[in-house]
Structure 1
Amino acid sequence: MLSFHRTVISSALLFALQLVPIAHANNAPNISASELAVTLAPTEIPQNQDALTYANYTEVSVSHIELALTVDFKQNRLSGEATLDLAWHKAGKTLILDTRDLTISSVSAVNTAGKWHSVPFTLAKTDGVKGAALSINLTEENTQKVKINYHTSDNPSGIQWLTPEQTQGKQLPFMFSQSQAIHARSWIPLQDTPAVRQTYSATITADKAITVVMSADRKILSSTQTQFTMPQAIPAYLIAIAAGHLTFSPLNDISGVWAEPELIDKASQEFSDTPQMIDIAAKRYGDYRWGRYDLLILPPSFPFGGMENPRLSFITPTVIAGDKSLVSLIAHELAHSWSGNLVTNATWRDLWLNEGFTTYVENRIMEDLYGSDRALMEQTIGYSGLIAELAELDSSDSVLHLDLGGRSPDEAFSGVPYVKGQLFLVFLEQKFGRERFDAFVKNYFNHFAFQSITTAQFREYLSLNLLQKYPNIVSEAEIDTWIEGEGLPSFLVPPNSHAFDDIDAQRQTWLDGKHSASELKTSTWSVHQWLRFINEMPRINLDQTKLAELDKAFHFTGTGNSEIAFAWYSLALDNGYYAVLPALKQHLTNIGRMRLVVPLYQKLAGTKQYDWAKNVYINARPGYHPQTQASLDAMFADKPLQHEHSH
């Protein structure tokens, strides 16, 4: 996911941390048809490798989930039942599931005669990270089906409910899920671990004015019921739902855009290159295996850039810039159709297997579609952002194979799994040559298709299919440095886009007073070059009059481009330029994407503008997603939060 979750990534990590290969290997050897991947047997994941689930999934795993739920906007809840098909790996009578803030009304099971009967269950005490274990005591060994009647709380961590006033059209309410990392348990009782994959189906009931979509095939049953089927087995975090005033615009026969009517034309135009992206990725990495690839443009409160729910990526409206300058986010979420959705990290320690590969594939798509210059600019921006973030992270959190300890998996979503993971793959590509490495990646996706794997499994496959097949090129010690070592390896060659040379030179002439802002030659600059211009400005002691001069010349304050706005407000706050506060209030109030709001609150919270920032947050909070609220509540927790009166 390109979402920059929960722990917030530094301000320069833009566009889903896009990177492209730093350079092409000039002496890449030719690949013969006989150079095939070495086959590995799938490795069973021991129970204790995912400490973030209560599920006893090595004893019994869920193979299919059937949902029958009602969307209730009056009570802001989902209610109904979940029927679970069980696959037993050893004889047993106990099923343990993950839940968070669910009210369980009853549990029943099918006996050997095919009859449903009630069974006892226990809901354990709630843990702040993992939620509450639901233990179901079955009367017969190896029971095949269990049905749970339940409803959600009115503010689950994985669902946001919006009033009509909080939507674009302001006519109908809206709700959407965000299940990654372990938030699916807040709206479905299940085995909430990426180690378990299941198919699912659903029948969703909602008011006839409401359109319901899910990450699955869709069929309208009646004016109030919609049926969904996901035939491919996926981990729980990819189960997704949304409901509201939605309309659809096709892009081609397998791809289209869902959005509120007020946004549908802009979104369809902005993301019109999506079919080409699908073709490019499929040509390079193997067939697209999910049937459709649609986009759902969510309200501005969506807390992340995007979420790769299969068949239906959830997308923030903040990337609708009008010039396709931010569409690498679409390439990122599409890339997850291979890395993440097809081959999945087995635990959240292994997140880099999802995000590092995805960031690498994303940038190969961008390079093929828009050219190497743009791709390398995006890579350089991402690398610079990672360097800034590493300076702020604990050194132990700079390891790819991250040991979370007892922390929430949300804290794994820094720039490290994205950018450092991608740089590691670029390193391998440079060493072995693009032709060999492309073949390796394609074979890797095919070999582990629809499996959840660990870093150890990846390393074994890498060793057999690259390191040993082409010896004396990359050592196991170098692999250790990348995966288990802190920071970046000393032998990394940083990316450098020469498209930024003129930008850097002009910035310096302005800083030196040799040219005024209005004299700078900026008419041909791309968004990426503007971001470079802003992000590399001095972060302290930049004179207020200089900032005012920039603002007057280029109208940064109030810009409609969310990335430029974020870069500018970050620079302004770092230098105490508070003339931006009125426009910044609108920025913080109108969007809820965590990466574009939380760092700005962080900058304000450490200054004399703390009270101002807290008041803005109090008023904006009802429109933020629960996960955004959780992050900011902790920041402003010096006294209870109360809504101030409007003036």
Structure 2
Amino acid sequence: MMRLFSLHVLLFLAASTRTNAYVSDAHSAAKPDEAVVTHLNLDLVIDFSLQKIIGTATWEIKKSAHAKQIHFDANGLLIREITDQSGQKLYYELKPRNEYLGDDLSIDLPESVKRVTIRYETGKNAYALQWVTAQQTSGKQLPFLYTQSQSIAARTWLPCQDSPGIRYTYDATVTVPKEMLVVMSAENPTQKNSSGTYKFRMRQSIPAYLMALAAGDLVFEAVGKRTGIYAEPSTIKSAVYEFADMEKMLLTAEKLFGPYRWGRYDVLVMPPSFPFGGMENPRITFATPTVIAGDRSLVSLIAHELAHSWSGNLVTNATWNDFWLNEGFTVYLERRIVAELYGQAFMEMEAYLGLNDLKETISELGPNHPDSQLKLRLDGRNPEDAMTDVAYEKGFNLLTRLRLQVGNKKFDRFLEKYFNHFAFQSIVTEQFILFMNDQLLNKYDIDYMRSEVDHWIYAPDLPKDYELFYAEPPFKKVDEAVIQLLTGDNLNRLNTKNWSTYEWVHFINRLDTTPLLIRIPEIDNVFKLTQSGNCEIQSAWYELAAKYQYKEAYGNMENFLLRVGRRKYLRPIYKQLAQTPSGKELAIRIFNEARDNYHPVSQRAIEEILKP
């Protein structure tokens, strides 16, 4: 393995001796060595009646002396006209690549060109755009639009150099119907105006996948000095209550990992169709309403998205092969924040469930599958296809392994140095390894970890016999309760009053491995799991119900699948339903009814499960 490590680093060192700092990205047509964007002036008009965006994107560029063209990514865009800074038309071509990469928009660059202006419209099926009808929103008053640009979908609503290795600043003007408010991944307004036109500024450089926009019937309420919530009027009060600890989280993160460099940190509560838990758009996280449980039990999701302000947004994976640099680090930071605020036991429960999910994913992939490596090989593939929890949980466990060698304080300081050193840069795994060797392994005399780190990053599967270290099993109370039930105890004797969400999820998971399955109706009757209002518990319970055809839960399960668009919850339930002919028939019927309410990300995932 050491030879493998040396080869990777030597190749990186050889590549980095070139005069530019850009890494080749197979998922972008951009050739930043020749010509690269530095700033965007964006003017957008959002047409809800036609469900399209009419845009003018003016890009300031930096080019080499020999550059004859600049290359952008575009997918499904209608290009109207391209001009230079003096209004002269520029010759361009749209060269098809493939369905998910879209087109190479190549523009000729006469020597005098410093700026290119692209007038365009979005296409009918722009992958990044979700047009939500008024009926599908919480308040049911106005339609809603949001973007989801990660990983390579920014090009479906903006002609751009759509690589995480290319960063730029931007200004924007957006016009919407007058009764709406618009927010972006930028400095945001906090109230509606009478014109329907809003201006935005983003002075910190970001890659295209962090470009974000949402428009709808939105209001704002502050939570702290630097934190606040955007939501529909019908949701704002419950969201402010649920996310009351945002300012504490921000202060805790700064204490652990250094200053927050983005000004404000706000959260936008999305419509139920949003396909993810959250999206870490700079300055404004887009968050699923499924975390509003009424008891603040699921707020670790906000800690996760906040942590991205360091890992992912401040220091970014330069290619999607290095996705773990975004997500593995973020899960680690999230759980350090959670441990500080809510206790080590809470964090360990989350980590335990995460490790179980990771093992299940690796089992499904196969132990030698390259997608179980941290450093991915995605050339010729849609990066979405490999974005499993390997990057999240295997990355977290590697960083935890390193932390255990030096302790919390030293490892926190190492991470703070890492974020300072690479701030507002996009890097590859090999740059992290070189920095780690110098600032951690050499500094604290733990060179013996080099070959192990190499194995974690470049080898599939988990290292043999790896288990997280716990002072005691994090679900000891739940496991004892399961033993009680196995010995025939009455369900009413179980003391579940103070169980957390994670304890209930573990309890449901344990049912799947014990003879207690025959008591599912009794368990449901006592604990009312089918009627739970907590989406984590609902998801775990409905997955079990689908697997064992507990039909008393099917009505609520169907309502859940029709209402919620979060891919994490949808995929396991549909997967279990699809295991039997009758279940698959039900799944297809539900999906046909729910499909238009799902984002294309979720649609694609479910279509893959239900295909003939």
> Which TM-score tier does this pair reach, normalised by the shorter chain?
over 0.9
Deviations 1:418-459 (A, max 9, x none): 111011111111112222211111000000000000001111
Residues 8-19 of structure 1 correspond to what in structure 2 (within 5 A)? none
Partner of 2:523: 550
Partner of 1:346: 318
| Counterpart among 127, 140, 158 of residue 128 in structure 2 | 158
Note the C-alpha offset of 1:472.
4.3
Residue 135 in structure 1 maps to residue 106 in structure 2: yes
Deviations 1:490-509 (A, max 9, x none): 26332445341121121133
Conserved? CA contact 1:383–1:495, under 8 Å: no
Partner of 1:107: 82
The amino acid across from 2:497 in the alignment is S
Note the C-alpha offset of 1:519.
2.5
In 2, Cα distance between equivalents of 1:524 and 1:80: 53
Conserved? CA contact 2:291–2:298, under 8 Å: yes
Note the C-alpha offset of 1:473.
4.7
- Alignment partner of 2:448: what SS? coil
- Alignment partner of 2:511: what SS? coil
Conserved? CA contact 2:22–2:165, under 8 Å: no
Partner of 2:5: none
**Cα gap change, 1:42/1:292 in structure 2, threshold over 3 Å: closer, same or farther?**
farther
Partner of 2:27: 52
In 2, Cα distance between equivalents of 1:96 and 1:49: 14
Partner of 2:355: 383
- Alignment partner of 1:106: what SS? strand
Query: Which has the larger displacement, 423-432 or 221-230?
Result: 221-230
Partner of 1:24: none
Deviations 1:232-253 (A, max 9, x none): 0001111100000000010122
- Residue-pair matches, total: 591
| Counterpart among 342, 352, 358 of residue 370 in structure 1 | 342
Residue 572 in structure 1 maps to residue 542 in structure 2: no
In 1, Cα distance between equivalents of 2:20 and 2:271: 38
Provide the aligned C-alpha RMSD in A: 1.8
- Alignment partner of 1:53: what SS? coil
Conserved? CA contact 1:344–1:354, under 8 Å: yes
Conserved? CA contact 2:405–2:446, under 8 Å: no
Residues 551-630 of structure 1 correspond to what in structure 2 (within 5 A)? 551-607=524-580, 608-630=582-604
In 2, Cα distance between equivalents of 1:499 and 1:428: 21
In 2, Cα distance between equivalents of 1:616 and 1:431: 50
Partner of 2:12: none
Conserved? CA contact 1:539–1:574, under 8 Å: no
Partner of 2:462: 488
The 4+ residue runs of structure 1 with deviation greater than 4 A are 41-48, 219-222, 539-544
Partner of 1:68: 43
Partner of 2:247: 275
Note the C-alpha offset of 1:93.
2.2
Partner of 2:152: 182
Partner of 1:20: none
Note the C-alpha offset of 1:539.
5.2
The amino acid across from 2:343 in the alignment is G
The amino acid across from 1:633 in the alignment is E
**Cα gap change, 1:592/1:540 in structure 2, threshold over 3 Å: closer, same or farther?**
farther
In 2, Cα distance between equivalents of 1:344 and 1:42: 21
| Counterpart among 206, 217, 220 of residue 248 in structure 1 | 220
Conserved? CA contact 1:63–1:84, under 8 Å: yes
Note the C-alpha offset of 1:535.
1.3
The amino acid across from 2:165 in the alignment is A
**Cα gap change, 1:48/1:252 in structure 2, threshold over 3 Å: closer, same or farther?**
closer
- Alignment partner of 1:392: what SS? helix
The amino acid across from 1:462 in the alignment is M
Q: Structure 1 stretches of 5 or more lacking a match?
A: 1-40, 639-647
Partner of 2:498: 524
In 2, Cα distance between equivalents of 1:605 and 1:46: 47
In 2, Cα distance between equivalents of 1:537 and 1:306: 29
Note the C-alpha offset of 1:126.
4.8
- Alignment partner of 1:602: what SS? helix
Note the C-alpha offset of 1:528.
1.5
Conserved? CA contact 1:61–1:87, under 8 Å: yes
In 2, Cα distance between equivalents of 1:630 and 1:155: 13
Conserved? CA contact 1:159–1:176, under 8 Å: yes
TM-score of the aligned structures, taking structure 2 as reference length: 0.93
**Cα gap change, 1:89/1:431 in structure 2, threshold over 3 Å: closer, same or farther?**
farther
Q: Structure 2 stretches of 5 or more lacking a match?
A: 1-15
In 2, Cα distance between equivalents of 1:135 and 1:43: 24
Conserved? CA contact 1:540–1:574, under 8 Å: no
Conserved? CA contact 1:43–1:457, under 8 Å: no
Residues 497-516 of structure 1 correspond to what in structure 2 (within 5 A)? 498-510=473-485, 512-516=486-490
Residue 322 in structure 1 maps to residue 294 in structure 2: yes
In 2, Cα distance between equivalents of 1:310 and 1:594: 22
Conserved? CA contact 2:352–2:474, under 8 Å: no
- Alignment partner of 1:157: what SS? coil
Conserved? CA contact 2:23–2:165, under 8 Å: no
**Cα gap change, 1:502/1:526 in structure 2, threshold over 3 Å: closer, same or farther?**
same
The amino acid across from 2:386 in the alignment is A
The amino acid across from 1:574 in the alignment is K
Conserved? CA contact 2:278–2:285, under 8 Å: yes
The amino acid across from 1:309 in the alignment is N
**Cα gap change, 1:472/1:449 in structure 2, threshold over 3 Å: closer, same or farther?**
closer
Percent same amino acid at aligned positions?
42
Conserved? CA contact 1:541–1:575, under 8 Å: no
Residue 429 in structure 1 maps to residue 411 in structure 2: no
- Alignment partner of 1:212: what SS? strand
Conserved? CA contact 1:539–1:575, under 8 Å: no
Query: Which has the larger displacement, 195-204 or 211-220?
Result: 211-220
- Higher RCO, Cα 8 Å, sep 6+: 1
In 1, Cα distance between equivalents of 2:294 and 2:446: 49
Deviations 1:63-122 (A, max 9, x none): 011110001100111112100010113431201100111111111112xxxx21111111
The amino acid across from 1:228 in the alignment is F
| Counterpart among 111, 117, 133 of residue 147 in structure 1 | 117
The amino acid across from 2:287 in the alignment is I
- Alignment partner of 1:123: what SS? strand
- Alignment partner of 2:84: what SS? strand
Residue 116 in structure 1 maps to residue 84 in structure 2: no
The amino acid across from 1:402 in the alignment is L
The amino acid across from 1:216 in the alignment is A
Note the C-alpha offset of 1:489.
1.3
In 2, Cα distance between equivalents of 1:187 and 1:42: 35
**Cα gap change, 1:443/1:557 in structure 2, threshold over 3 Å: closer, same or farther?**
same
In 2, Cα distance between equivalents of 1:60 and 1:484: 32
Partner of 1:460: 434
Query: Which has the larger displacement, 100-109 or 377-386?
Result: 377-386
Note the C-alpha offset of 1:254.
1.3
The amino acid across from 1:362 in the alignment is E
Partner of 1:80: 55
Note the C-alpha offset of 1:45.
6.8
Conserved? CA contact 2:27–2:379, under 8 Å: no
Partner of 1:5: none
In 1, Cα distance between equivalents of 2:20 and 2:570: 38
In 2, Cα distance between equivalents of 1:136 and 1:242: 30
In 1, Cα distance between equivalents of 2:562 and 2:156: 26
In 2, Cα distance between equivalents of 1:439 and 1:368: 16
Deviations 1:525-557 (A, max 9, x none): 11121111111222587644x110111011111
Conserved? CA contact 1:93–1:143, under 8 Å: no
Deviations 1:569-601 (A, max 9, x none): 111222222221111110000010001112211
Conserved? CA contact 1:376–1:495, under 8 Å: no
Conserved? CA contact 1:360–1:425, under 8 Å: yes
